[in-house]
């Protein structure tokens, strides 16, 4: 347990960013039209910490949508060092659900085999987590055990309390940074205020998933009629998986220039909702129906991932619900699998 903590007045946030930027590149949530996105912060003022969620999750920082595996020219190949800068960076203002997603991604890319591309990016980032101060319509992190507070996976945890941020260190690196900031000491009242905030938030969730026995339930519900029913509605657009903070699948492609000697092999996010995803030689396809592909996405999140990595893949961020053009709701499917009658609450 790292005990270092301190208080930062809200109006000093741009100063903090300025200070951090002397040593780090800083990535955080910025306004993008009516939505938010994680972008590199040039000026502290761009940062918008009062955000619900972002369009794309922060996985793009560690495993970019398109990433070069290596470049080649004739028979010589680039190295990781050529490809991926190891400059120091900070992922700033990351909500607890997204912090939890990093733990899942780590198991995918650093578990069975370590991918040096992912590791190099991951290691280059410090995580400044941000305790949630509001609960969006689609949030269900509470039931997934990933929010609205954050207990691990951060270097620094920030919690907005009335006029100030409570900053807490989670690693020696985080302690070093807090020490360098000349912060006002936090009191027991501040920690109490944080607890009160979290307790208040816990009462505001409109969505939840009963996770107890859910992996087993999904395994035994492969023939449940709801897959057909939702398969009829699903557009198979794949936005749910693209916006999912723990979806990790990728396709590998080659690209050559006109000389046919020089080019690169790259990976690019791929999603199981697309028909081509499961296609093999001679056109064979193991998931030709939309219902099967939707089932793969939902069950990977609520079941298979748990067997693969001993933690639920779904972190309850609600992005897939927000983005689905036909309002397919993973929490509702989880409930229907339990054959609970759905009674729409009249608002």
Partner 1 sequence: MKDPYERYPAEVLDVKKETENTNTYTLRFLDEERQRSFSFIPGQFIIISFPGIGEAMFSISSSTRKTDSFSTTIRKVGRVTSKIHSLRPGDRIWVSGPYGNGWPMKEIEGKDVLIITGGVGLPSPRPVIYYIEENRDDFGFLEILYGTKTPMESIFSWEYERWHKMPRTKLALTVDYVPEGVEWRHNVGVVTTLLDDLVITPRNSAALICGPEIMMHFTVQELLRRGFHEQQLYVSLERRMHCGIAQCGHCQIGPYFVCKDGPVFRYSDIRGLPDCGI
Q: Is 330 in the site for partner 1 (CB under 8 A)?
A: no
Q: Is 219 in the site for partner 1 (CB under 8 A)?
A: yes
Q: Is 311 in the site for partner 1 (CB under 8 A)?
A: no
271 with 294: CB under 8 angstroms?
Answer: no
Number of residues that bind partner 1 (CB under 8 A): 49
86 is a site residue for partner 1 (CB under 8 A):
no
Quick check: 331 binds partner 1 (CB under 8 A)?
no
- Tell me: does residue 84 bind partner 1 (CB under 8 A): no
CB of 161 to partner 1, least distance (A): 40
Q: Is there a contact between 8 and 17 (Cβ–Cβ < 8 Å)?
A: no
What DSSP line would sit under 133-197, residue for residue?
Answer: SS--TT--HHHHT--SS--SS-SEEEEEETTEEEEEE-SHHHHHHHHTT-PBPP-HHHHHHHHHH
Binding partner 1 by CB under 8 A: which of 52, 70, 173, 332?
70
Q: What is the DSSP letter of 30?
A: E
Alpha helices in the chain (DSSP H): 13-23, 59-62, 80-83, 96-110, 116-123, 141-144, 172-179, 188-202, 214-219, 225-233, 239-242, 290-299, 305-309, 319-323, 330-337
- Counting contacts by CB under 8 A, is residue 60 touching partner 1? no
Contact in structure between 277 and 295 (CB atoms under 8 Å):
no
Tokens of 157: 């945890």
- The answer to whether 300 contacts partner 1 (rule: CB under 8 A) is yes
Can residue 278 be called a binding residue for partner 1 (CB under 8 A)? yes
- CB closer to partner 1 out of 77 and 187: 77
Does 3 participate in binding partner 1 (rule CB under 8 A)?
A: no
The correct pick among 1, 258, 282, 341 for binding partner 1 (CB under 8 A) is 282
**Alpha-carbon distance 150 to 95, whole Å?**
8
- Among 14, 52, 64, 263, the residue binding partner 1 under the rule CB under 8 A is 263
Residues in contact with partner 1 by the rule CB under 8 A = 69-70, 72, 75, 77, 80, 108-109, 112-117, 119, 219, 222, 248-254, 256, 260-261, 263, 265, 267, 270, 272, 277-282, 286-287, 292, 295-296, 299-300, 303-304, 307-308
């Amino acid at each position: 347990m790292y005990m270092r903590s301190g208080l930062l007045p809200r109006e000093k946030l741009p100063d903090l960013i300025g200070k951090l930027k002397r040593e780090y590149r800083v990535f955080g949530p910025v306004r993008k039209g009516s939505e938010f996105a994680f972008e590199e912060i040039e000026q502290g003022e761009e940062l918008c910490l009062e955000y619900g969620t972002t369009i794309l999750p922060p996985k793009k920082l560690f495993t970019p949508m398109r990433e070069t595996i290596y470049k080649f020219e004739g028979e010589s190949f680039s190295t990781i060092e050529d490809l991926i800068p190891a400059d120091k960076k900070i992922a700033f203002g990351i909500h607890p659900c997204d912090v939890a997603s990093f733990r899942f991604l780590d198991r995918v890319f650093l578990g069975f085999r370590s991918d040096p591309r992912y590791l190099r990016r991951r290691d280059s980032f410090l995580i400044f987590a941000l305790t949630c101060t509001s609960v969006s319509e689609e949030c269900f992190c509470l039931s997934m055990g990933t929010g609205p507070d954050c207990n691990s996976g951060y270097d620094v945890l920030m919690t907005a309390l009335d006029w100030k941020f409570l900053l807490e260190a989670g690693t020696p690196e985080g302690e070093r940074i807090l020490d360098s900031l000349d912060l006002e000491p936090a009191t027991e009242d501040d920690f109490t205020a944080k607890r009160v905030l979290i307790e208040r938030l816990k009462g505001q969730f409109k969505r939840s998933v009963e996770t107890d026995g859910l992996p087993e339930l999904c395994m035994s519900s492969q023939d449940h009629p709801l897959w057909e029913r939702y398969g009829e509605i699903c557009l198979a657009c794949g936005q749910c998986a693209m916006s999912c903070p723990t979806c990790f699948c990728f396709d590998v492609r080659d690209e050559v220039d006109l000389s046919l000697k020089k080019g690169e092999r790259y990976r690019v996010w791929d999603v199981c909702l697309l028909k081509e995803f499961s296609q093999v030689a001679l056109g064979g396809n193991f998931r030709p129906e939309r219902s099967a592909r939707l089932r793969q996405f939902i069950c990977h999140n609520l079941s298979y991932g748990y067997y693969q990595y001993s933690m639920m893949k779904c972190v309850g961020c609600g992005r897939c619900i927000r983005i689905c053009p036909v309002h397919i709701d993973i929490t509702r499917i989880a409930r229907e699998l339990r054959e609970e009658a759905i009674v729409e609450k009249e608002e």
